[in-house]
Amino acid sequence: MDDRIKPTLDEIEERFVALVAGRLSRDEADRWAARWVEDGLVRDDLSWWALNLLHGIDLPADASGGHLHDDEQVRAWLAELRRRRRPTA
C-alpha cells in the first residue's frame, strides 16, 4: 500500500483482528499505524481514534516485559471499533 493512501476502516479493523489472533506483532501494528498518525492526513474521527490506539500498541508497561495495554484491552478496542462502525438506526 502506498503510504499516501489512507487506510480504510476495514484495513484498520483487519490489523486489530490480526493482532488479537497473534498473526501480527505489536511492533508491526505500531509501525503500520505510525505512517498515518505521524503525517496527520487521516481526517475522519473513527479512523484517527483507531490508528492512534494501534500506534503505540507496543509500549512497555514496565521492565517486566509486559505491555502498557494488555491483550484484554486490545480485544475491548476491537469490540469498540466494531460497535462504532455499526450504522445507527
> pTM surpassing 0.95?
no
Looking up cell 492526513 gives 41
Residue 47 lies inside a defined structural domain of this protein: yes
The answer to whether the CB of 12 falls within 8 A of the CB of 27 is: no
Residue count of the chain, please give it: 89
Residue 74 lies inside a defined structural domain of this protein: yes
d(CA 55, CA 50): 9
Residue 2 lies inside a defined structural domain of this protein: no
Residue 81 lies inside a defined structural domain of this protein: yes
pLDDT in tens, 50-88: 999 999 898 888 777 787 888 999 999 999 999 999 876
Show the domain range for 73.
Answer: 11-59+66-85
pLDDT in tens, 16-52: 999 999 999 999 999 999 998 988 778 889 999 999 9
State the total domains in the chain: 1
d(CA 42, CA 83): 20
Residue 6 lies inside a defined structural domain of this protein: no
